[in-house]
Amino acid sequence: MADRIYYPNAELAKTAYCNSMDQYKKMHEKSIKQPEEFWSEIAKQFYWETTSSNDKFFSYNFNRNEGDIFIKWMEGASTNISFNLLDKNVKCGNGDKIAFYWEGNDVEDYSRLTYRKLLEETCKFANVLKSKGVQKGDRVAIYMPMILELPIAMLACTRIGAVHSVIFAGYSSDSLAERVLDSKAKVLLTADGAWRGSKLLHLKSICDHAMDKVKSHGHNVESCIVISHLRRVTCPPGNTSDGGKTKNGTSNGSTSEVNLSWDDDRDCWWHEEMEDADSSCYPVWVAAEDPLFILYTSGSTGKPKGVLHTTAGYLIYAATTFKYVFDYKPNDVYWCTADIGWITGHTYVVYGPLVNGATSVLFEGTPFYPQNDRYWSVIEKYKVSQFYTAPTAIRSLMKFGDDLVKKYNLDSLKVLGSVGEPINSEAWLWFYNLIGHGKCSIVDTFWQTETGGHVVTPLPGATPMKPGSASFPFFGVLPELLDEDGKIIEGEGEGYLVFRQPWPGMMRSLYGNHERFQTTYFDKFNGFYCTGDGARRDSDGYLWVTGRIDDMLNVSGHLMSTAEVESVLAEHAAVSEAAVVSKPHPVKGQCLYCFITPNEGKNFDKQLQDELKKKIRERIGPFAQPDIIHHAPGLPKTRSGKIMRRILRKIAVGDRNVGDTSTLADEGIVDLLFQLRPEA
Ligand code: PRX
C-alpha cells in the first residue's frame, strides 16, 4: 500500500488552482526562469503604497566569494502588512466574514472574530503600543497562549512597523529571557495564565522571572501588558480556578484574586489599556525589506538563532503557498493545529490565511482534552475543510483506535496537511484512509523556520502522492542534492538538500548576527543555501526528506540542538560530561538519549536522573525532557578528544554493529556502555 501512488481526487482537481502536473511544471518553470515576472504578477493582488521597478524587483548573492550574502525582493516598494490582511479584506466585502473561530481549551469556551472586528482590535492595540513608546523598528516580545489577542498583537506590531518576536509559551523563563535579551525587546505581552488540558501555566510569573533575569543582564523591559485570560475561561474539573469560571459557567471571582506579583511602573492589564484606545490607526508604510518579525529556532551551537523575516517577500510567499498548497476556497474553514509560537503558526495560522481572507479555527487546547477525540470533534463542529497537523499528533492519536474517529462526521475535509518531520507511511495511510476517507489529498509539506513557507510539497489537485514523500518544489524553489564534496547528484540518489536560488519568503539574516547567518547556511556549499537536512530523489524525481544531518534533533516536531541540551546537563554539580544523541521514538519521531559521566565520587542514581530531567524542563521547557539517561563512566572519544556520536547512536538503539572503532582512545568503553544500557 505504501508503494502505491495515490492520485488527487478528481472532483477536487476540477476546481483546484493548480489542477495538473502539466500546469504545475509550467508554473514552476516560469517561477525559476523568470522570477521577476512570476512574482510581480502575484504582487499585483496586494496593496503597495509605492511599487518596485522591474530592474530592482529581485537581487541576491549566494556566493561568499562574491561578497556578503544578501536577498532582496521588491526593492523600492512599500506597504503595510496589516493593511493587506485587514483593511483590504474589509474593503473587498469580507468585513463580516469570520477570520477566526476561537476554540478554547475547554469545550464550553469558544468565540469568533470577524475581519472588521479584527481590524478594529488591531488598530486599538497598535495605539496602546504607541502609548507605551513603541516605534517603527522596536521589538515587541510576545509570550501568549493560543488566544485571539495573539494574532491581534502581532498585527498591531505590523500596523506601526514594530518587529514582533513570538516566543512559544511552553518555553521556560530562562529560554524566554535569553530570547528577550537577544532581541532587546522593549515590551513584553503575556497572559496571567492559561490551561493546557488540566494543567495551569503560570505565564505572568514565568515572565516575571524572565524580566528579572533580563534586567540582571542590563536590559530593561519597559512595559509588560497582561491579558486577564483565566477569569473568562472554564476551570478543568478537580482544579481550583484562581478566579476563573467554574464548570457551570458562574464566575468564581475577579482576576484580582489571581495571585500575581505586579510592578506598577511596568505591568498593566490589556483590557484596561484597550478601554479608551482609539479604534483607528493609520498604517505605517514600511519598505519591502524592513523587518517583519524575528522567530528563534535552535542552533547547533546551542545558542538560539533569531531568524529574521522581512515584509514584501514574506507576504507574497505566505499568500501564494497558502492558496495553492491548501487550495483554499472562499467558503472553506481551515484549521492548522500548530502553535503560533512556531513558524507554522506564523505563516499558516496568521499571515497566509488572513491575507487570503480565509476563515480559520484558532485552537487553544490539546488533542487529548477533555478526551482523545478533541480534534475530530472540532473538525465536525466547524465543518473543517483543510486540516493541517503534525505526524507526531497523528501517531499519538492512532493509538486510541479507529472507533473514536468514526463517531464523527469528517465529510467536510478536502485537504490534509502534515508538517514538522518525515511522516511514516503507516501514519500517512491512517490519515489518508481513516481521517480523509480516501478522498482527500495529503500535502506533506517540507519547510523550515528559515524558509518562511513551504518549499517542497505536493499540490492537492495536481500531484500524485507517494506516502512519506514531500514530492516536488514549490514555485520559485530550486532544490539540489549534493554529495559531501559539493558535487550535484543528478537523477536518483541521496545527499544534502540545498537550494540554488532564493524564493521571496526566505529568511534574510539572523537578527544582529549576519556573520552567523552566512557561516551557518552558506559556508558548507558555496553558492547554495544548505538546509541541514538529507534527502533522496527516486526514479520518478520525488524528493524524500530523510531528516537532519547535523547535530539537531527533532522531538515531536520541535527542533533542538544536542549542544543546547548537553550544556544544561553539564551544569549540574554532579556531572562531569554529557553527550546527547537522538533515538527513534514511535510517537515523537525522535527522543533524547543522554549519556552522563558523573564526577568522581558522585553516584549515578535515580535522584540524579530526576534532577537532570527537572533541570532540562526548567531551563529549556517540558517538551525537551530526556527519555533516557544512560550512565557513562566514560565516552567513546578519538585520541584528539572528539566524542564519536555515531557510536553513541548505535548504543542508544542497541545495535552492536558499531563499525570501525580503531580510532578510539579506549576501545573497551564501547562494551562497557552496552552493558550499562538502561533497557538491557
Ligand atoms: O528537519 C526538517 C523538519 O523540520 C525542520 C525544520 O524545523 P523548524 O524550523 O522548527 O520548522 C518546522 C515547521 C516548518 C526541517 O529542517 N521537517 C519539517 N517538515 C518536514 C520535515 N522533515 C520531513 N518532512 C517534512 N514535511
543 CA distance to ligand 1 middle (Å): 14
Which range has the worst mean pLDDT, 255-269, 285-299, 648-662? Answer: 255-269
More confident of the two residues 92 and 242: 92
**8 Å CB contact between 359 and 334:** yes
Extract the C-alpha cell encoding 127: 495605539
Residue 304: strand, helix, or coil: coil
Which residue's alpha carbon is nearest to atom 25 within ligand 1? Answer: 446
Q: What is the pTM of this model?
A: 0.93
Which residue's alpha carbon is nearest to atom 7 within ligand 1? Answer: 448
pLDDT in tens, 408-459: 999 999 999 999 999 999 999 999 999 999 999 999 999 999 999 999 999 9
Residue 628: exposed, middle, or buried by beta-carbon count in 10 A (0-12, 13-18, 19+)? middle
Pocket of ligand 1 (CB under 6 A): 297, 343-344, 419-422, 444-449, 470, 531-533, 545, 547-548, 554, 559
Q: What is residue 246's predicted lDDT score, i.e. its pLDDT? A: 61
- Report CA 176 to chain centroid distance, whole Å: 16
How confident is residue 642, by pLDDT bands cut at 50, 70 and 90? confident
Atom of ligand 1 nearest to the CA of 457: 26
Q: How far apart are CA 235 and CA 381, in angstroms?
A: 22
346 CA distance to ligand 1 middle (Å): 15
How confident is residue 254, by pLDDT bands cut at 50, 70 and 90? very low
Atom of ligand 1 nearest to the CA of 532: 16
Which residue's alpha carbon is nearest to atom 4 within ligand 1? Answer: 420
Q: What is residue 249's predicted lDDT score, i.e. its pLDDT? A: 52
Q: What is residue 253's predicted lDDT score, i.e. its pLDDT? A: 43
How confident is residue 244, by pLDDT bands cut at 50, 70 and 90? low
| Segment 122-132 mean pLDDT | 98
H or E element: which one contains 131?
helix 115-131
pLDDT beyond 70 at 227: yes
Q: Where are the alpha helices (DSSP H) in 488-561?
A: 514-522
Atom of ligand 1 nearest to the CA of 447: 14
**8 Å CB contact between 428 and 565:** no
Which residue's alpha carbon is nearest to atom 10 within ligand 1? Answer: 559
Which residue's alpha carbon is nearest to atom 21 within ligand 1? Answer: 421
**Best residue for ligand 1 mutational test, from 297, 419, 431, 472 (most atoms within 8 Å of Cβ):** 419
Which range has the worst mean pLDDT, 195-209, 234-248, 408-422? Answer: 234-248
Q: What is residue 238's predicted lDDT score, i.e. its pLDDT? A: 82
Dihedral angle sign, alpha carbons of residues 546, 550, 551, 553: negative
Atom of ligand 1 nearest to the CA of 531: 16
Q: How far apart are CA 302 and CA 306, in angstroms?
A: 13
Which residue's alpha carbon is nearest to atom 22 within ligand 1? Answer: 421
121 CA distance to ligand 1 middle (Å): 33
| Segment 267-295 mean pLDDT | 98
Q: What is residue 663's predicted lDDT score, i.e. its pLDDT? A: 84
678 CA distance to ligand 1 middle (Å): 30
More confident of the two residues 562 and 293: 293
390 CA distance to ligand 1 middle (Å): 10
Q: What is residue 256's predicted lDDT score, i.e. its pLDDT? A: 35
388 CA distance to ligand 1 middle (Å): 14
Q: How far apart are CA 246 and CA 265, in angstroms?
A: 32
Beta bridge partners of 114: 98
Which residue's alpha carbon is nearest to atom 5 within ligand 1? Answer: 448
β 58-61/70-73 pair status: antiparallel
187 CA distance to ligand 1 middle (Å): 30
344 CA distance to ligand 1 middle (Å): 10
Which residue's alpha carbon is nearest to atom 18 within ligand 1? Answer: 420
Q: How far apart are CA 81 and CA 83, in angstroms?
A: 5
| Segment 494-499 mean pLDDT | 97
118 CA distance to ligand 1 middle (Å): 31
Cis peptide before 353 (omega within 30 of 0): no
pLDDT beyond 50 at 556: yes
pLDDT beyond 80 at 659: yes
H or E element: which one contains 612?
helix 606-619
| Segment 555-577 mean pLDDT | 91
Dihedral angle sign, alpha carbons of residues 131, 342, 439, 378: negative
How confident is residue 628, by pLDDT bands cut at 50, 70 and 90? very high
Q: How far apart are CA 155 and CA 170, in angstroms?
A: 22
How confident is residue 15, by pLDDT bands cut at 50, 70 and 90? very high
Which residue's alpha carbon is nearest to atom 3 within ligand 1? Answer: 421
Query: How is residue 64 annotated by DSSP?
Result: G
pLDDT beyond 80 at 257: no
Extract the C-alpha cell encoding 268: 498593566
How confident is residue 239, by pLDDT bands cut at 50, 70 and 90? confident
Atom of ligand 1 nearest to the CA of 338: 13
